[in-house]
Structure 1
Amino acid sequence: MSTLLEVNGVSVSFDGFRAINNLSFAIGLPELRAVIGPNGAGKTTFMDIVTGKTKPDEGIVRWAESAQSLLSMTEAKIARAGIGRKFQRPTVFEDQTVWDNLRVALSKPRGPFAAMFDRVTPEDRKRIDEIAGEIGLSGHLSRMAGILSHGQKQWLEIGMLLAQDPKLLLVDEPAAGMTTEERNHTADLLKRLAKSHAVVVVEHDMDFVRRLDCRVTVLHEGSVLSEGSLDHVMADERVIEVYLGR
């Protein structure tokens, strides 16, 4: 497994509050990683930095695919380089079908000229069918996205990320608001994707994290507090103190 993303010595402050404090983090390809921690631990800021939304005060964020610093790249260029992010609340085109949502997301040339001559090729149709099968929505391609269940909308958004051919997927609290069956489906989906992608899951649901059965990174006050299996980090006295306050 080769290192895909390397965050080294990164710090960032907002109005005097240090949200990220000398954070070092690496993920390989392929790999599934869960990131946990109490509110204010720096989980969202970490994702903001990786995707270019927030620029750190110091440190290095290196993307191994191009041996390039992500800090010199715009958000759009970072996305094109192969980093996809799914926010907690699904953002799909609710007045369009599942099929149309996936078609719009396909990794293809952008811009006015490309849009004028946009054609759905047999390869596009094959890719859409493959993604729909992967996310479990093959039987729903003609349905409007707005009438899907919450869990199905989450899967559709993951599918829209896959349509962009990312190497790294950053997934924020995918289990929130899901039924038990939907959570299980989502965990199994992410585990399958991690066989060929790097997948970082930020999550509060420890039962969901346990089902992921992956390496866990615990953040606290913007730094890595503990890392290892879920059982290992939850037995760490420092983690117990942070979570239980003793």
Structure 2
Amino acid sequence: MSALLEVSGVTVSFDGFRAINNLTFAIGAAELRAIIGPNGAGKSTFMDIVTGKTRPDSGSVTFGEKSVSLLKLSEAQIARAGIGRKFQRPTVFEDQTVRENLTLALKAARSPWAVLVWRKSAADEARIVTLAEQVGLGDRLEQKAGILSHGQKQWLEIAMLLAQEPKLLLVDEPAAGMTLAEREKTTELLVDIAKTRAVVVVEHDMDFVRRLNCKVTVLHEGAVLAEGSLDHVTKNQTVIDVYLGRG
């Protein structure tokens, strides 16, 4: 089976500093993957490259069944192709209700005329309810996003990304700032989402990564240092020396 996302020989430098160094790895179509590594390992730059925010100096990044080159697409085109990214801090419309946030996020034509004439259908409303229930906000549809807890805002943003029907979801440090109960709920949510699409989680919290129970890629100095189960990579002496030993 071919990979959904394939990164091959990617290198990118900023002012002489090589942030990504011949990075090569692949993500499957319905796979949950955790990416860990010390600060400066290239984790954020990797996501910037995949979403079109940063252009590499060399290498290739292909996506989908037809192996489309993401390096030829704009950020908007990449998003429409099926890649969603969630940053560490939730970005929701706090003065709008959960329902209104999800309505705004629904996948639809975005031309000026299409936006003017668009009306929410019964199918759209059903989709909104389903998304809210999926992330545990089914009883909060009429609540303004601004009064949700930090964890609930994170879930709402995930639901907003799911409304775009992505094939790949990039999630940056979802456990940060969450209560234990919220972290457990987030684990369950990400595992469930990865049954139907690819989910890549960048995370520092090893307990959270362990609960994800997925393949782990360790980055260091812009390249893959180790890959495998969490137990496998945490026994790697080099990983211990450059990352885990720092704790």
Q: Same fold (TM over 0.5)?
A: yes
Q: Would you say 1:12 and 2:12 are equivalent positions?
A: yes
Instruction: Tell whether the 8 Å contact from 2:106 to 2:163 is kept in structure 1 after alignment.
Output: yes
Residue of structure 2 equivalent to 1:79: 79
Residue of structure 2 equivalent to 1:219: 219
Alpha carbons of structure 1 residues 244 and 114: separation in structure 2 relative to 1, 3 Å: closer
Distance 1:101 1:62 in 2: 31
Instruction: Tell whether the 8 Å contact from 2:37 to 2:219 is kept in structure 1 after alignment.
Output: yes
Distance 2:39 2:18 in 1: 14
Letter in 2 for 1:228: G
Residue of structure 2 equivalent to 1:155: 155
Residue of structure 2 equivalent to 1:3: 3
Residue of structure 2 equivalent to 1:238: 238
Residue of structure 2 equivalent to 1:115: 115
Distance 2:175 2:107 in 1: 26
Distance 1:24 1:45 in 2: 14
Name structure 1 gaps, 5 residues minimum: none
Instruction: Tell whether the 8 Å contact from 2:2 to 2:65 is kept in structure 1 after alignment.
Output: no
Letter in 1 for 2:102: L
Paired residue secondary structure (2:44): helix
Letter in 1 for 2:6: E
Distance 1:9 1:25 in 2: 9
Structure 2-normalised TM-score?
0.98
Shift of 1:228: 0.3
Paired residue secondary structure (2:28): strand
Shift of 1:245: 5.2
State percent identity of aligned pairs.
Answer: 70
Distance 2:50 2:101 in 1: 25
Paired residue secondary structure (1:3): coil
Residue of structure 2 equivalent to 1:168: 168
Instruction: Tell whether the 8 Å contact from 2:234 to 2:244 is kept in structure 1 after alignment.
Output: no
Distance 2:243 2:31 in 1: 26
Distance 1:244 1:155 in 2: 29
CA RMSD of aligned residues (A): 1.0
Letter in 2 for 1:98: V
Residue of structure 2 equivalent to 1:186: 186
Alpha carbons of structure 1 residues 245 and 211: separation in structure 2 relative to 1, 3 Å: closer
Letter in 2 for 1:198: A
Distance 1:126 1:48 in 2: 33
Paired residue secondary structure (1:53): coil
Distance 2:212 2:98 in 1: 26
Shift of 1:68: 1.2
Name structure 2 gaps, 5 residues minimum: none
Structure 1-normalised TM-score?
0.98
Letter in 2 for 1:107: K
Once the two structures are superposed, residues 13-58 of structure 1 have per-residue CA deviations (whole angstroms, 9 ceiling, x without a partner) of 0000000000001000100000000000000000000000000000
Aligned residue pairs total 246
Once the two structures are superposed, residues 157-194 of structure 1 have per-residue CA deviations (whole angstroms, 9 ceiling, x without a partner) of 00000000000000000000000000000010000000
Instruction: Tell whether the 8 Å contact from 2:86 to 2:171 is kept in structure 1 after alignment.
Output: yes
Distance 2:174 2:64 in 1: 26
